[in-house]
Homo-oligomer: A and B are copies of this chain.
Amino acid sequence: MDRAAVFNEYLRRKGLKNTKQRMTILEAFQGSKFHYSTEELYLELRKDHPKIGYATVHRTLKLFAECGIAIELNFGDGQSRFEPLNENQHHDHLVCTNCGLIIEFMEPRIENLQGQVAARYDFKIESHRHELYGLCSNCAKQR
């Protein structure tokens, strides 16, 4: 299921409407590898679709994040940025040291910070491992 499908299903489920603007914004958003802020995407869209308003872009990006096809990131420049999210994203692990349960998690904000750390040391990341060890919900209760 691609992003458009996920988005449409989300709209339907929520009783929201599929509009030209929303589809146009999704298309522009998907197309790029860039981390758009609301303003940047708005300015970009303006070239071909001068009638789409800033508020609409903003509301639509929020919708993307809500339905899981995008992640809202914060690079500390005072603007939220949105990154298209894929289904088969890299994930890391929570490992229960008591029962061995392994939970997969994805946290793009950590990936992002890793990049910032690497840049700090002029380091080129090729791979990483990130594991959190502790007690899962069940095991924590039993103690």
Q: Are B118 and A123 in contact (CB under 8 A)?
A: no
Copies in the complex: 2
> Which of A42-50, A54-62, A108-116 lies on the face that meets chain B?
A108-116
Contact A114 B126, CB 8 Å, known A120-B105, A137-B121: no
CA distance A128 to B95 in the complex (A): 9
CA distance A105 to B122 in the complex (A): 13
Tell me if A94 is interfacial: C-beta within 8 Å of chain B: yes
Q: Are B132 and A128 in contact (CB under 8 A)?
A: yes
Interface size bucket, A side?
Answer: 35 or more
Tell me if A2 is interfacial: C-beta within 8 Å of chain B: no
List 23 A-B pairs, Cβ < 8 Å: A74-B76, A94-B117, A94-B118, A97-B126, A103-B123, A105-B117, A105-B121, A107-B117, A109-B113, A110-B113, A110-B117, A118-B132, A121-B136, A122-B140, A123-B132, A123-B134, A123-B136, A123-B140, A125-B132, A126-B135, A127-B134, A128-B132, A129-B133
Q: Footprint of B on A, CB under 8 Å?
A: 72, 74, 76, 94, 96-97, 103, 105, 107, 109-110, 113-114, 116-118, 120-137, 140
